[in-house]
Structure 1
């Protein structure tokens, strides 16, 4: 698989970013979204994945128009330029750039999850304005999500609708281990911050489970969804718990992770050292929460987005963290932004930590926070 990388103009660190918001209109609904982890001018690249219920999805890479040379096609009234695109048949459930390894001359890689886990590479081809990306390899599984280990980028872990999680060696394209992680579909999985062995997952059974690759015969249930009162359920779902859809580890204090229920307006903050009860619950959204992401450079900041079109930034350092039911609820975000449509995805840049990207409809916005 070959593609081409853009020739780029001066680095974003040189004061090039003057606006508070940059916008891009994609030709399809956006779902997959991730900032590049590379330094310099590449740090303001975004990978986008479409979500079409048909066999004609796309993967795109965009960068700011002022960071790309003039041979890339500009679209009127948009701040970004498309610098690469590839066909991706099934909808992309997640896209991630490879964690950057300082001092190593590694290829510029990203991965996507859908019917398989696919690796993609952009190679430098100067004077080629018609850039394409092609699949390098496939990992065979129907996937809901995945995570790329930041300590050891040879490792990735995937989650699947078949109740399993699989840890892969990205370099050899071989599975290191596969385990039945939940009783029902697994919806998300993430490595614990700064660990190559510990990861957690959430799923349709309503639990958060932690695993250690050094002792896979055991797992720890960190949190289970509280069953609704019988008066709140009907005969068809009395035995069902509410699914947990996503989870995200704090980037600075890995004992904390955030998760949320299906069709819920609240975000739960869990302390893995004290399983069972959330230490905080964030109650600022007026409609369903769809995505959460911790700040890469601040131990307390968390961003959430939902169907109420709101992007909220929270500071859990200012909250009363409680291991009982008293004083754990918070309704006061420190920042709020109202978009034009439901927020389906967000990504907080690790190289430009003042910037959060959000996706809603066919629009991507980069917001200065």
Structure 2
């Protein structure tokens, strides 16, 4: 059985990067432009306005030409001094990585943990903050792609605000695909991303910073021991070099910004609420289809991510996890993700973001999964009929 419906190219059904939005593909064929100057500045500022609309903020937004992790480190190293305490909400690989960033820059990180596939309750976070009254910030991830869990960050932000600590959020795999309200929820520092839910290319990272966070930075006792990941440096270039159309301390990729702009415009034209509901609807239908095939998903429905599904592998095929992924890739030309760290070899991860949160991409993925499991001796039921029925019933 060959379900290769996309030709010879590999289709990205991983938790990022994801397939490009058509508007982004059109931008990629345009000529190179300079990353500064009077003609460039209005283009860059329009991209910032679009980014702010997705963050839902009137606070300052800027772009970093980096991976998302560097933008997260910028927030931690700038807003927390060595020796200060932060509480990190940890329930997977990427939330642990955010905590590790704090460890590496000298922050006293107190972890509040949940098992893979579960979330830390807001009440538990509040208990930990009460017991650590000297904490200065909460670190959290909105969408933990290593386990397919979406965290209750609105409630976490409420707890952080009630305890008068900063709330630093990784929204890398949720920005543009999951509801986010920077101002309304009281977030202080948030990192979005271009080439996951927006379907753009890597190379530029939107960052939102609250007035309270800028005040914390100005009132530091010590200077951040960094240049590039120092918000003071970014502040200076935003203030002093904006006039020449270069409000950043380094070269940036104009095409990354132009592609981001096109992708953000497409998201806003779809309507953020419509887009969020599409991701929720398609993700729920996909998970139900996986279970109809005879497999289990890792998290409960109450905390399941709208942008990535974690499929539990039966113990009998743990040894064959790599073979299943390779069959998907080599035979069906569909790339999927595997488990990370403690879940290595125990789960598969399927991304459904931006254009891949659709029947066009998920129907072939379901058919290919059934065939790929068959190659390791596990007969599954058909999942396509369930998916189509679920989608039809929700339209």
Q: Mark yes or no: TM-score above 0.5.
A: no
Q: Rg bigger for which structure?
A: 2
Q: TM-score, normalised by structure 1?
A: 0.25
Choose between structure 1 and 2: higher strand proportion. Answer: 1
Choose between structure 1 and 2: higher helix proportion. Answer: 2
